[in-house]
C-alpha cells in the first residue's frame, strides 16, 4: 500500500467561548472527510487539522463547522498539480476583530446599565424614592425601557449563540448566560406589563438591575479575557515581525525593491547596515556581523564571511553584503520556527484530557443543578422570586471558560518564551513530559564537546607521515564523518599527493574499508582492527599505552599491517560544565554515550561532572542503552546531534537535538536547541516544570471556583450580580497566571 503524505492546516474558528465549544468543534471536524486528527485550541481560537489530501475538501470542512454553529475563515488555496496546496497557516488574526467588537459591546452595555443600576439601587433609599415623581408601576416600565436595549444590542450575542446551540441540541457558556439573564428579564417584563398574573403578596421586586449588570460584567470579563489572550501569543507575533516588508534585489547591476512575498530562490539580495536579512541565503560578496538573538537566543553577534549562511530575520549590524537566496517563506529557518511553534501551541497536552472530559458534560450538569435549585426553593419557600434568583445565580456563577483556558494559555506562553530563548519544543506532550525527566543521556561529540575534532598527533610504523596521509586521504575525502574532515584538514597542511581510490566501504560505527592504489586499507577504531585480525602489539615499540591515552585514536592498517595511529582531540564546550551543574541541581542523573575509547570519554566526563559513562558504543548499542535506562519508572531524555543519534532520539521519552546537528536529528527530536548550547537542555526542562506548575494552578483554580461557587449559588448564598463578577474574573485570573510565565527566568 502506498504511503499517504499527511498534511496539516491551521484554521481560525469564530464563535468559540468555552471548553464546551472546543469539544463540539473537534467532534464536527473529526467527522469531515479526509480528516485524520484534530486539535482545537480555545486560547488561539484555531483548529490544527491533520488530513489526507486525497480525500480532504476544505469547503466540506467549512460546512461541518458551520453546521455545528461556528464560523471558519478559509485560507487562500493555490493549485499544485491536480491537488490544492494547503498552507499550514491562515494568517488572518481574528482576535483583534473580536476584542474590538467585545469592547464596543461592553461600553454600550455599561452606558445603558448605569441609569438602570442607579434607579434600582436608589429606590431603596427613602430620600431618593421621594425625589422621583414616579410610582412603582411607572418606575418598572422605565426600567424595562432602559434594560431592553441592553438585551437586544450588546447582549444579543449571548442569545444568538444560545438559539444556534438549541437548534443543534447543545449548550455552552452563552446558553448559561442567555437562560439566566433571559429568565430574569422575562419574569420582570411579565411582572411589569401583566402584574395581574402574580400575587403581590409574594412578589414585589423586578430584576432589571440583575439582568443589566450581569450582561455588563460578563462583557467586561470577556473583553479583559480577550485582551489578556492576545498577549499570550506575543512571541509568535514578534517572530513574524522579524520579517522585513521589502528586500533590495540586484539584477543585471540594477537595484530594485521587491516585496518579501515576491523573492525567489536564486535572487541576489543586498543587505546594508541596520537592515533585517529578508530570507535565508549564502553570502557571495562582502562580510559583516549579524545579530541572530531573536532566532537562536544567542546574545553575541556572529561574524559572517564569504560562503557563510545567513538567516532571514537576523539583523545586519555592520557591513554591506550580497547573498544568494536559498530559502523563503515557510521553507526558511524563521518560517520553520514559526510553523513549529504554532503547531506546538495548537497541540494538546495529556493533562488537558481531564478538563476536556469535564467540559463535555459541564453545561448540561450546571443546567440540571440550576433547575434542581429552582424546584427546591419553589417547594421550600413557595417564593418564585427567591427560586428564580437562585436559579439565575447557579447559571451565572458556572464558568466552563476557565476550564478551557487553563492548559492552552500556559502552553502558548511557555512555548513562545522557549522559542525566544532558542528552544523549539515541537508539541505539548513533549513539553509536559520533560518536567518528569530524571535521567539525561548525552552524546559526546558535538553535544558536550564542540564537535570540531582536530588531529593532535600521528604516530607511524615504517612509513613517513606524508606517505600515510597520501594513502588515506582519498578515502577520508569520501567520508562525511567529522573525524574524516579533521584528517583531511590536517593533510592539507602538508600538501600531499593523493593515491587512486579503487574501492570504498563505510563501516558505520567502525570506520572505513578501502582499496587504494592496489593496497587494502583499514581506517577506524580498535574494534575494526580486532575484527579484521590486525596485530596491535607493535605499538609497544613506540612506547604507546593506548589504554592510558585520553585522545580519540584512529588506527590505520595497510595490507593487514598496522601502519599508523592518529590521535584526535575535541575541545569541551564552554557551557557544558554549567549545563551539567544545572541538571545536577534538579536531581537529574547524567550519562554520556559515545563511540570513543573509554579513557578519552572518562576524561571529558570528569571535567564536566558527568555521573556515568558508556563508551565504545556503536549506533545500535546507543539505542540499547536508551532502552535499558527506560526500564522501570525512569523518564529519559537523550541529547544528540548526528545521523547516528536519530534512532536514540526517537526512542527516548524526550529527544533533544542540538541545532547545529543534521537534518535527520532535528527532524527526529521532540525539542531542538537552535543555539547549539547544552545549557538549554536544563532550560527546556525548567520551562516544562514552570508551565506544568502553571497549568496545575490554573486547573486547581478553575475546578475549585466551580466546586465552591455552584453550591453556594444553589443554596441561596450568592447574589447573581456577584456571581457575574466572579465568573468574569475567573477566566481573566487563569490567563493572568499563565502570563506570569513571561517574567520567569530560564
Shortest CA distance to 387 belongs to which of 375, 397, 395, 398?
Answer: 375
- Residue 510's contacts (CB-CB under 8 Å, 6 or more residues apart) are 524, 525, 527, 528, 531, 618
| 3-class secondary structure per residue, 675-738 | CCCCHHHHHHHHHHHHHHHHHHHHHHHHHHHHHHHHHHHHCCCCCHHHHHHHHHHHHHHHHHHH
- Cα-based angle 24, 27, 33 (whole degrees, multiple of 5): 140
Q: What angle do CA 191, 197, 201 make, to 5 degrees?
A: 80
Query: Which of 694, 668, 671, 665 lies closest to 684, judged by CA?
Result: 671
Which DSSP symbol is given to 72? Answer: E
Q: How many CB atoms lie within 10 A of CB 548?
A: 7
Query: What pairing do the DSSP bridges indicate for beta strands 439-443 and 589-593?
Result: parallel
Query: In this structure, what are the phi and psi dihedrals at residue 455, rounded to the nearest 5 degrees?
Result: -75, 120
Burial of 214 (0-12, 13-18, 19+ CB in 10 A): buried
Backbone angles phi, psi at 262, to 5 degrees: -95, -10
**Distance set, CA 635 to CA 441, 589, 681 (Å):** 11, 11, 15
Radius of gyration of the CA atoms of the chain, in A: 34
Query: Among this protein's residues, is 645 annotated catalytic?
Result: no
Q: Which three cell numbers stand for residue 298?
A: 544567542
> How far from 443 is each of 53, 603, 735, CA to CA, in Å?
38, 15, 39
DSSP 448: I
Question: Residues of 512-521 as b/e, b for ≥16 C-beta within 10 angstroms?
Answer: bbbebeeeeb
Is-contact 408 47, C-beta < 8 A?
no
The alpha carbon of residue 632 and the mean position of all alpha carbons in its chain are separated, in whole angstroms, by 29
Instruction: Check: CB of residue 638 under 8 Å from CB of residue 649.
Output: yes
Q: Which helix (H) or strand (E) holds 587?
A: none
Which uninterrupted H or E stretch holds 582?
A: helix 576-585
Buried/exposed code over 575-612 (b: 16+ C-beta within 10 A; e: otherwise): bbbbbbebbeeeebbbbbbbbbbebbbbebbeebebee
Annotated active-site residue in 443, 641, 645, 677:
443
Buried b (16+ CB within 10 A) or exposed e, 239-263: bbebbbeebbbeeeeeeeebebeeb
Short-list 286, 332, 299, 339, CA closest to 313: 332
196/551 Cα distance (integer angstroms): 100
Task: Using the structure block, give the residue that is written with the C-alpha cell 506544568.
Answer: 692
- What cell numbers appear for 654 in the block? 524526550
Q: Check: CB of residue 25 under 8 Å from CB of residue 47.
A: yes
Q: Quote the CA–CA distance of 387 and 376 in Å, as a whole number.
A: 8
* Rounded distance between C-alpha atoms, residue 409 and residue 276, angstroms: 31
In terms of DSSP H, where are the helices of 31-78?
A: 58-67
Mention every residue, 6+ apart, whose C-beta is less than 8 A from residue 473. Answer: 487, 488, 491, 496, 498, 499
Question: Comparing C-alpha atoms, which of 742, 740, 736 is closest to residue 228?
Answer: 736
Task: Please state whether 166 falls in left (phi above 0), alpha (psi between -120 and 50) or beta.
Answer: alpha
> Which residues does the annotation mark as catalytic?
443
Amino acid at each position: 500500500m502506498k504511503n499517504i503524505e499527511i498534511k496539516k492546516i491551521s484554521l481560525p474558528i469564530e464563535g468559540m467561548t468555552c471548553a464546551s465549544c472546543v469539544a463540539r468543534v473537534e467532534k464536527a471536524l473529526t467527522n469531515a472527510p479526509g480528516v485524520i486528527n484534530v486539535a482545537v485550541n480555545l486560547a488561539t481560537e484555531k483548529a490544527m487539522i491533520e488530513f489526507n489530501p486525497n480525500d480532504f475538501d476544505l469547503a466540506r470542512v467549512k460546512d461541518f463547522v458551520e453546521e455545528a454553529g461556528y464560523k471558519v475563515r478559509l485560507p487562500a488555496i493555490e493549485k499544485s498539480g491536480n491537488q490544492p496546496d494547503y498552507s499550514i497557516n491562515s494568517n488572518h488574526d481574528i482576535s483583534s476583530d473580536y476584542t474590538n467588537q467585545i469592547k464596543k459591546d461592553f461600553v454600550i452595555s455599561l452606558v445603558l446599565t448605569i441609569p438602570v443600576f442607579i434607579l434600582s439601587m436608589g429606590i431603596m433609599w427613602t430620600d431618593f424614592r421621594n425625589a422621583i415623581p414616579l410610582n412603582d408601576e411607572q418606575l418598572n416600565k422605565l426600567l424595562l425601557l432602559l434594560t431592553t436595549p441592553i438585551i437586544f444590542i450588546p447582549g444579543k450575542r449571548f442569545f444568538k449563540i444560545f438559539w444556534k446551540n438549541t437548534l443543534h441540541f447543545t449548550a455552552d457558556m452563552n446558553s448559561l448566560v442567555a437562560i439566566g439573564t433571559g429568565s430574569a428579564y422575562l419574569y420582570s417584563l411579565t411582572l411589569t406589563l401583566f402584574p395581574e398574573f402574580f400575587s403581590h403578596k409574594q412578589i414585589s421586586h423586578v430584576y432589571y438591575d440583575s439582568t443589566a449588570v450581569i450582561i455588563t460584567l460578563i462583557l467586561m470579563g470577556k473583553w479583559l479575557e480577550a485582551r489578556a489572550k492576545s498577549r499570550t501569543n506575543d512571541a509568535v507575533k514578534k517572530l513574524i515581525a522579524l520579517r522585513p516588508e521589502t528586500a533590495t534585489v540586484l539584477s543585471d547591476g540594477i537595484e530594485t525593491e521587491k516585496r518579501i512575498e515576491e523573492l525567489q530562490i536564486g535572487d541576489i539580495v543586498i543587505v546594508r547596515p541596520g537592515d533585517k536579512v529578508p530570507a535565508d541565503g549564502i553570502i557571495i560578496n562582502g562580510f559583516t556581523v549579524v545579530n541572530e538573538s531573536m532566532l537562536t537566543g544567542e546574545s553575541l553577534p556572529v561574524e559572517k564571511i564569504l560562503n557563510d549562511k545567513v538567516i532571514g530575520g537576523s539583523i545586519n549590524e555592520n557591513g554591506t553584503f550580497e547573498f544568494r537566496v536559498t530559502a523563503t517563506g515557510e521553507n526558511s529557518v524563521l518560517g520553520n520556527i514559526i510553523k513549529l511553534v504554532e503547531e506546538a501551541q495548537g497541540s494538546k497536552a495529556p493533562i488537558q484530557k481531564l478538563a476536556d472530559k469535564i467540559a463535555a458534560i459541564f453545561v448540561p450538569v450546571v443546567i440540571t443543578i440550576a433547575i434542581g435549585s429552582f424546584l427546591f426553593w419553589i417547594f421550600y419557600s413557595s417564593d418564585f422570586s427567591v427560586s428564580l434568583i437562585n436559579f439565575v445565580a447557579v447559571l451565572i456563577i458556572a464558568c466552563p471558560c476557565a476550564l478551557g483556558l487553563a492548559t492552552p494559555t500556559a502552553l502558548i506562553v511557555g512555548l513562545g518564551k522557549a522559542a525566544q530563548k532558542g528552544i523549539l519544543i515541537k508539541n505539548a506532550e513533549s513539553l509536559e513530559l520533560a518536567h518528569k525527566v530524571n535521567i539525561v543521556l548525552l552524546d559526546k561529540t558535538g553535544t558536550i564537546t564542540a564537535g570540531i575534532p582536530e588531529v593532535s598527533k600521528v604516530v607511524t610504523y615504517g612509513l613517513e607521515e606524508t606517505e600515510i596521509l597520501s594513502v588515506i586521504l582519498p578515502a577520508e575525502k569520501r567520508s562525511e564523518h567529522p573525524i574524516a574532515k579533521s584528517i583531511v584538514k590536517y593533510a592539507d597542511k602538508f600538501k600531499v599527493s593523493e593515491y587512486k581510490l579503487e574501492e570504498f566501504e563505510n563501516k558505520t560505527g567502525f570506520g572505513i574499508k578501502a582499496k587504494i592504489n592496489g593496497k587494502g586499507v583499514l581506517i577506524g577504531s580498535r574494534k575494526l582492527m580486532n575484527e579484521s585480525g590486525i596485530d596491535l602489539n607493535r605499538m609497544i615499540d613506540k612506547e604507546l599505552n593506548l589504554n592510558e591515552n585520553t585522545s580519540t585514536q584512529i588506527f590505520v592498517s595497510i595490507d593487514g599491517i598496522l601502519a599508523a595511529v592518529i590521535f584526535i582531540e575535541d575541545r569541551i564546550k564552554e557551557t557544558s560544565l554549567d549545563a551539567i551543574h544545572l541538571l545536577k541541581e534538579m536531581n537529574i542523573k547524567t550519562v554520556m554515550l559515545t563511540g570513543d575509547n573509554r579513557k578519552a570519554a572518562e576524561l571529558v566526563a570528569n571535567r564536566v561532572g558527568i555521573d556515568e559513562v558508556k563508551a565504545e558504543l556503536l549506533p545500535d548499542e546507543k539505542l540499547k542503552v536508551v532502552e535499558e535506562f527506560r526500564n522501570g519508572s525512569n523518564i529519559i531524555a537523550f541529547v544528540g546531534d548526528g545521523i547516528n543519534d536519530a534512532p536514540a532520539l526517537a526512542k527516548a521519552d524526550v529527544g533533544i537535538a542540538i541545532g547545529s546537528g543534521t537534518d535527520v536529528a532535528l527532524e527526529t527530536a521532540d525539542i531542538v536547541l537552535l543555539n547549539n548550547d547544552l545549557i538549554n537542555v536544563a532550560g527546556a526542562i525548567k520551562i516544562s516544570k514552570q508551565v506544568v506548575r502553571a497549568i496545575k494552578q490554573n486547573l486547581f483554580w478553575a475546578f475549585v471556583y466551580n466546586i465552591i461557587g455552584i453550591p453556594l449559588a444553589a443554596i441561596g448564598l450568592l447574589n447573581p450580580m456577584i456571581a457575574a463578577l466572579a465568573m468574569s474574573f475567573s477566566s481573566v485570573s487563569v490567563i493572568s497566571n499563565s502570563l506570569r510565565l513571561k517574567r520567569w527566568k530560564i
